[in-house]
Chains A and B, each alone.
Chain A
Amino acid sequence: MTKVNIQTFYLSDPTNCDFSATCFGKLKMIVLQEYQRTSNFTVLDTFTQDLRRSGQLLFQTLDELQLLSAGGQILSQPTTGGQQFVDQIASGPVKDSLSGISSLRRLLPVGSGTLQEKVLALMDEELKTHARAHLLLLEPKQGNAAGIVVTKGLRGYGKSLKLLRKVILECGGAEVDSPKLYPHLFPEYRKYTTKPQVGIGYGEPAFASATKIISNFLSVARANEKGILADHDTEFLHDYRVALRKVRSVLSLFKGVYDQEQTLDLKNRFSVQMAATGRLRDLDVYLLDKQKFYGLLPQNLSPGLDAMFGQFAAEREAALESLTKKLRSKAYRKEMKALEQIFAIPKSLAPGAKANLGAHDFAMELIWKRYNKVRKTADRIGAHTPDEDVHELRIMCKKLRYLMEFFAPVFPKQDFKAAVEPLKDLQDNLGKFNDYSVQQENLNAFLTSLRARRETETLHIAQSVGALIAVLYTSQKEERRKVTQKLQGFNSMRTKETFRCLFYYRNHKK
């Protein structure tokens, strides 16, 4: 049995999808199965468009989930509906194909319409099937209809399959390209990414580059507001915070691009917006890690965790309500609009001393300086260095990484990747070290502020939190032990040489 020969086509004009009258020489196209009912369909994707980006199209009908896979296959499995996240989908071929889609993101409707389905077979005079075609006709409520034809060959009937595909192409069919199907079906569909590729020219002035980067990330932050308000999933807030953090980083790291006083003012204005989101994000992280925490402690300490997470959930509700109120307020909307306008109309920004420096030279100067700072701190760190220094190194690495990512477009891709990899590796380790540390601090603070309704509950919570802090402390120690090892990669001659070649600023050479 050779590999099944499947090829999928899409026809933008679905009136061409009826092949029953088409001439196939001695062969005939017979409808094997025609689903009488026209069912409603809803295309689903995450907000970050993970399905579109992975070349897949997922849609739900009344009782089925169907997936046009990246390989052009139509997979389906029964469903009773109601699944909001990938991990809530029952086991089946569709779920298996969605393994790469984050379970943190809710599946949201992209658009809906009606669906008709037919199974056709190309047969000879003995009624032997030579090739099959599975036809899906999607008609969105607001958008353009499209026909999807999945052709499948049978071993030994290659010529017939070739003929079928030739006819489909002559009818205006094109090989299916799922990502292109989205804007065809739903013209109002807009591409979205949390990491916009900001095109920066080699010699583009630093002022224009910084403004472009900020403007892009500000748009990302604003795009996530609706999701936070609807509380679709935790990642809307996370992405909102990351985008604003990047804006602030540009303001603080791109020294001399904007007027100093204005920079300070803008930094403060963005910090105010960020501050209101911190507690909700902390609680989200706890609640997302809930199962992990249960796994860290013996079962007899579960009642304490139940009570603790009960309190966290209640507190989260209050934090969300407060943030929602803020995001809906006139003051917030006015402030965000004003900030957007500042970066949309660069005239309202006062340039600094380095505003006209070319992006590449400016990046070299900034990154090389920042890298040397990181390296000096990294050189100091050994097995017995105080934890504070490790925390300092983490923050410095983060700043260096941001800078590198902002300016990535002006450096050669391969060399740039070679410089980022050891930094990423070190950051993973430092990030975990910091997480364990912050979690302990927060749990200690939680213990102090404990206001349980009953004494026994307080006791249970205290026992569990105490045990949790002990486990986290051990994990933190373990990560701390790895820091020295990871630093070897970052401090290696090879990494140093890569950074030197890429970012050694010519003024230093002089």
Chain B
Amino acid sequence: MIVLACYSNKGGVGKTAASVNLAYALSLAGFRTLLCDLDPQGASSFYFRVKPSKKLTEARFFRDVAKFTAAIRGSDFDNLDILPANMSFRDFDVFLSQMKNSRSRLKRSLKAVKNDYDAILLDCPPNISMLSENVFQTADGILVPVIPTTLSQRSFEQLYSFFKSRNLPVKKLHGFFSMVQSIKNLHGETIAEMRERYGRSLLKSQIPFASDIERMGVHRAPVIHTVPNSPASAAYLNLCEEVMSRITTV
């Protein structure tokens, strides 16, 4: 079982759109996939029309295997299940800080479903917290969407430094440019500069800024499903392929 996380400490960079489409792309490729919505806003659950789980509180998430597995919902698509979020997830940090082995609790929870899935994708909330540290420890690969702008670049730098300072393996980090607008000079310059600096930590695939992606909120389905022939769909499919070939060859 492979665990991937879509993570950025900056909000609004396209994490959820990437999580939703990557999870769908994995399911299309035949991987039995679980998308875990860890963000209390529950956006990826919303995209799949799955209602928030009432019973899966933060305590049960980490302590009650039966409740954890019972909260999983089948999506409308083959090979793809969703673990929906709810507002109690906002207290994950407080809860985790009170637990023993607080950095490996997520890994333990996911063990409960390791035989059910080939791939688990974690859609993470935008912060660096105890939950994030759990994600860093659990995931085989951390996908970091980066808008080619100064602030987003800064967030990636912060994350990279955090990994170095905590002796976490930076090879787990797979940044990719998101919401790219090729007509903007700043985007082009930032991409070139970052590629030179971070080399293999950045994936080749880029996600364009596209209204089809914005409209996912209206259609409430992955863009690969609603507009399969769009450039955005092709970009997510490429991203999925590149990530999987990197992770599986490691």
A binds B: yes
Residues of A that sit less than 8 Å from B by CB:
1-2, 124, 126-129, 153-157
Q: Do the beta carbons of A155 and B51 come within 8 Å of each other? A: no
Q: Do the beta carbons of A156 and B74 come within 8 Å of each other? A: yes
**Bound complex: CA of A319 vs CA of B63, how far in Å?**
78
Q: Do the beta carbons of B74 and A155 come within 8 Å of each other? A: yes
Given contacts A156-B71, A156-B74, contact A1 B50 (CB under 8 A): no
In the assembled complex, the CB of A133 is this many whole angstroms from the nearest CB of chain B, namely 14
Q: Do the beta carbons of B73 and A156 come within 8 Å of each other? A: yes
Please name 25 pairs of A and B residues whose Cβ atoms are closer than 8 Å in the assembled complex, sorted by A: A1-B32, A1-B33, A1-B79, A1-B117, A2-B116, A124-B51, A126-B51, A126-B220, A127-B49, A127-B220, A128-B48, A128-B51, A128-B76, A129-B76, A154-B73, A155-B72, A155-B73, A155-B81, A156-B70, A156-B71, A156-B73, A156-B74, A156-B81, A157-B73, A157-B74
Range of interface residues on chain B? 10 to 19
Residue on A nearest B70 in the bound complex, by CB:
A156
Contact with A along B61-87 (1 / 0, CB 8 A): 000000000111111100101000000
Q: What 9 A-B pairs are tightest by C-beta distance, nearest first?
A: A154-B74, A128-B49, A156-B73, A155-B74, A1-B32, A126-B49, A129-B76, A1-B116, A155-B81
**Bound complex: CA of A154 vs CA of B75, how far in Å?**
7
**Bound complex: CA of A157 vs CA of B76, how far in Å?**
12
Q: Which residues of A contact B81 (CB under 8 A)?
A: 1, 155-156
In the assembled complex, the CB of B77 is this many whole angstroms from the nearest CB of chain A, namely 10
In the assembled complex, the CB of A120 is this many whole angstroms from the nearest CB of chain B, namely 13
In the assembled complex, the CB of A450 is this many whole angstroms from the nearest CB of chain B, namely 58
Residues of B that sit less than 8 Å from A by CB:
32-34, 48-51, 70-76, 79, 81, 116-117, 220
Residue on B nearest A5 in the bound complex, by CB:
B74
**Bound complex: CA of A156 vs CA of B32, how far in Å?**
16
Q: Which residues of A contact B70 (CB under 8 A)?
A: 156
Interface of B is mostly: loop
Q: Do the beta carbons of A156 and B72 come within 8 Å of each other? A: yes
**Bound complex: CA of A508 vs CA of B70, how far in Å?**
70
Residue on B nearest A158 in the bound complex, by CB:
B70
Q: Which residues of B contact A126 (CB under 8 A)?
A: 49, 51, 220
**Bound complex: CA of A153 vs CA of B49, how far in Å?**
16
Assuming A153-B74, A155-B72, what are 17 further A-B pairs, CB within 8 angstroms? Answer: A1-B34, A1-B116, A124-B51, A126-B51, A126-B220, A128-B50, A128-B51, A154-B74, A154-B75, A154-B76, A156-B71, A156-B72, A156-B73, A156-B74, A156-B81, A157-B73, A157-B74
In the assembled complex, the CB of B73 is this many whole angstroms from the nearest CB of chain A, namely 4
**Bound complex: CA of A230 vs CA of B2, how far in Å?**
59
Q: Which residues of B contact A153 (CB under 8 A)?
A: 74
**Bound complex: CA of A127 vs CA of B47, how far in Å?**
12
In the assembled complex, the CB of B119 is this many whole angstroms from the nearest CB of chain A, namely 10
**Bound complex: CA of A398 vs CA of B32, how far in Å?**
54
Q: By CB atoms of chain B within 10 A, which of A2, A127, A153 has the most?
A: A2
Q: Which residues of B contact A156 (CB under 8 A)?
A: 70-74, 81
Q: Which residues of B contact A127 (CB under 8 A)?
A: 49, 220
Residue on A nearest B49 in the bound complex, by CB:
A128
**Bound complex: CA of A383 vs CA of B8, how far in Å?**
81
Q: By CB atoms of chain A within 10 A, which of B34, B74, B220 has the most?
A: B74
Residue on B nearest A156 in the bound complex, by CB:
B73
**Bound complex: CA of A264 vs CA of B73, how far in Å?**
75
**Bound complex: CA of A355 vs CA of B219, how far in Å?**
83
Q: Which residues of A contact B74 (CB under 8 A)?
A: 153-157
**Bound complex: CA of A155 vs CA of B78, how far in Å?**
11
Q: Which residues of A contact B51 (CB under 8 A)?
A: 124, 126, 128
Q: Which residues of B contact A1 (CB under 8 A)?
A: 32-34, 79, 81, 116-117
**Bound complex: CA of A484 vs CA of B126, how far in Å?**
79
**Bound complex: CA of A295 vs CA of B116, how far in Å?**
45
**Bound complex: CA of A2 vs CA of B74, how far in Å?**
10
**Bound complex: CA of A129 vs CA of B34, how far in Å?**
17
**Bound complex: CA of A30 vs CA of B48, how far in Å?**
18
**Bound complex: CA of A153 vs CA of B51, how far in Å?**
17
**Bound complex: CA of A124 vs CA of B117, how far in Å?**
26
**Bound complex: CA of A128 vs CA of B74, how far in Å?**
10
**Bound complex: CA of A309 vs CA of B73, how far in Å?**
62
Q: Which residues of A contact B75 (CB under 8 A)?
A: 154
Residue on B nearest A154 in the bound complex, by CB:
B74
In the assembled complex, the CB of A269 is this many whole angstroms from the nearest CB of chain B, namely 63
**Bound complex: CA of A144 vs CA of B76, how far in Å?**
35
**Bound complex: CA of A127 vs CA of B71, how far in Å?**
19
**Bound complex: CA of A127 vs CA of B75, how far in Å?**
12
**Bound complex: CA of A1 vs CA of B79, how far in Å?**
7
